[in-house]
A and B are shown apart, each in its own frame.
Chain A
Amino acid sequence: GQQVMQIPQYQHVQEGEDFTTYCNSSTTLSNIQWYKQRPGGHPVFLIQLVKSGEVKKQKRLTFQFGEAKKNSSLHITATQTTDVGTYFCAGYNNNDMRFGAGTRLTVKP
Chain B
Amino acid sequence: GAVVSQHPSRVICKSGTSVKIECRSLDFQATTMFWYRQFPKQSLMLMATSNEGSKATYEQGVEKDKFLINHASLTLSTLTVTSAHPEDSSFYICSAQTGSVPEAFFGQGTRLTVV
Interface contact B43-A99, CB-CB below 8 Å: yes
Interface contact B109-A42, CB-CB below 8 Å: yes
Is B106 an interface residue, CB under 8 A from the partner? Answer: yes
Q: In the bound complex, how far is the Cα of B108 from the Cα of A44, in angstroms?
A: 10
Interface contact A100-B105, CB-CB below 8 Å: no
Sorting the interface of chain A by its residue count into under 10, 10 to 19, 20 to 34 or 35 or more gives 20 to 34
Is B104 an interface residue, CB under 8 A from the partner? Answer: yes
Q: In the bound complex, how far is the Cα of B6 from the Cα of A41, in angstroms?
A: 13
Interface contact B102-A48, CB-CB below 8 Å: yes
Residue from B43, B105, B106 in contact with A102 in the complex, judged by beta carbons closer than 8 Å: B43
User: Chain B residues near A97 (CB, 8 Å)?
Assistant: 34, 97, 102, 104
Is B1 an interface residue, CB under 8 A from the partner? Answer: yes
Residues of chain B in range 27-69 having any CB-CB distance to chain A below 8 Å: 32, 34, 36, 41-44, 46
Binding stretch for chain B, among A11-19, A52-60, A87-95? A87-95
Is B93 an interface residue, CB under 8 A from the partner? Answer: yes
- Which 7 A-B residue pairs are closest in the complex by CB-CB distance? A101-B43, A42-B106, A102-B43, A99-B44, A42-B109, A43-B106, A92-B102
